[in-house]
Amino acid sequence: MSLAADAPDRPLRSEAPLLALGSATTLHRLPVYLACTVLALVINYVLGKEMAWDTLNYHLYAGFSAVNDRFAQDYFAAGPQAYVNPYAYVPFYALVSSGLSGLQIASLLAVAHSVMLWLTYELALAVFPSGSSASRAVFAVCAVAFAAVNPVLIQQIGSSFADITTAELVLAGWLLLATTIRAPSAPRVIFAATLLGAATAFKLTNAVHAIAAGAILMMLSRPLSDKLRYCLAYAMAVALSFAIVAAPWSYRLERRFGNPFFPLLNNVFRSPEFTTEPLRHFRFIPSSLAEALWRPFAMLDPVPMVHEELSAPDPRYAVLLVLCCALARVGTRGIPRRRARSGCTRLRFRCRLGPLVDRLWQQPVFLGNGLRWRCPLDRAAISDTCYTTKGSELHSRGDFRSADDPTVDGRRVPLERRAMGRWQVARCRSTGKPGD
């Protein structure tokens, strides 16, 4: 039975708790959650310890600088990112300072990262339009599997990168907004905005998903004036949450450099400590419309620097694009070229395209985020569940090339090796050291 089947009979300001969503599938949740956590732990153990340059020189230093004033001693110690809000890396610094082994730290991080798959399961249940509890659960499990094969997500499970942990806040906010479509509720919208604003403060690239999420509010079954009020409340809550979380670090930057976002926006604040030229990064931005349309198929090639710095062949976007084209072709089959003499033709056309248009309209932001996954953050999608955004593309780590790379001295590897690499994650870790 559809979650929306009884929507007309429910009050628009229903305060049904979030846990009531998908109550028929409660028995499926615990096994799915446990399976997701076990999967994350297995991936972390098999891939080994992450030893990227960022781990020690950026992530650990960022957590250290968050609790210790290093402005007087260090200058661009980790490059420009040394001055980005470091509080997302404080948990990693605390784990390292606790004296735990590398394997224990990575395992704890993997457990935390598995929450991403939990939220994917819940989001899939929330957006699945109809069906029995069993079919909805199967659909949600397929969504989790679709997200779990994301090579960028696999690379970062159990690592010190904060992309997954901040993306979990993004997914939680999107989940709340998805449930708001069924039962509009101002507190739920404000809570979602709070999560998305905090996620943006911890990692500025999450702003793409926070802005895109506002489009969901335009799908509410309310008058236009109410929709605009919801959008205004959402925008104000996002801004307030961002300001509260970013304020402590921005205050320190303002006192030291005269720029609360140093080294960003220095063309506006004009701190003498850094160039006033605007910073632009074009590495993963398509140079033309043709290249942008080809990007989903270019991501099939197991070579680095396509959509992220490491090799991460990903066929999902190409498959999604082909399926969308196939659905559009099926939906428009048999459309008369001339106006029909009978009104029955129009009725048949609307009946044929109605479900397709309804699905695409209910998920424009999900699909839109997918098409630019980690182009926004110039990476391959975070979170990158089948309905998110963050998920989301995730930020990637530095490029550490070695003799076993798909490209050596600019030459392409043999075709058979590339073909096998298309369906597996090549160099999931920068080093792949065994855990200690």
Predicted local distance difference test score (pLDDT) of residue 353: 44
Q: Which residue has the tokens 């048999």?
A: 334
pLDDT value at 83 more than 70: yes
Predicted local distance difference test score (pLDDT) of residue 73: 85
pLDDT category of residue 371 using cuts at 50, 70 and 90:
very low
- Average pLDDT of the segment spanning 274-300: 83
Does 152 or 386 have the greater pLDDT score? 152
Facing residues of 381 across strands? 393
Residue 136 and residue 147 in contact, taking contact as beta carbons nearer than 8 Å: no
Give SS3 for 223.
coil
Does 42 or 373 have the greater pLDDT score? 42
pLDDT value at 421 more than 50: no
Query: SS3 letters for 274-342?
Result: CCCCCCCCCCCCCCCHHHHHHHHHHCCCCCCCCCCCCCCCCCHHHHHHHHHHHHHHHHHCCCCCCCCCC
Q: What is the pLDDT of residues 112-162, one digit of tens each?
A: 999 999 999 999 988 886 777 888 888 889 999 989 988 888 888 999 999
Task: Tell me how far apart the alpha carbons of residues 81 and 291 are, in angstroms, rounded to a whole number.
Answer: 29
- Average pLDDT of the segment spanning 343-363: 44
Predicted local distance difference test score (pLDDT) of residue 414: 39
Predicted local distance difference test score (pLDDT) of residue 114: 94
CA distances from residue 309 to 172, 220, 412, 413 in whole angstroms, order as listed: 28, 39, 17, 18
Predicted local distance difference test score (pLDDT) of residue 191: 95
- Average pLDDT of the segment spanning 22-42: 80
Predicted local distance difference test score (pLDDT) of residue 436: 62
Which of 40-49, 279-288, 290-299, 381-390 shows the lowest mean pLDDT across its residues?
381-390
Predicted local distance difference test score (pLDDT) of residue 377: 34
- Average pLDDT of the segment spanning 308-328: 83
- Tokens, residue 305: 């620097």
Predicted local distance difference test score (pLDDT) of residue 365: 41
Q: Which residue has the tokens 């989790």?
A: 144
Give the CA angle between residues 18, 137, 106 to the nearest 5°: 75
Predicted local distance difference test score (pLDDT) of residue 330: 82
Total-model pTM: 0.70
% of the chain surpassing 70 pLDDT: 70
What 8-15 contacts at long range (C-beta under 8 Å, 24+ apart), as own/partner pairs, is 10/183, 11/183, 12/183, 12/184, 12/221, 12/222, 13/183, 13/184, 13/185, 13/186, 14/183, 14/184, 14/185, 15/183, 15/185, 15/187
State the DSSP H helix or E strand holding residue 419, giving kind and residue range, or none if neither. helix 415-421
Predicted local distance difference test score (pLDDT) of residue 361: 41
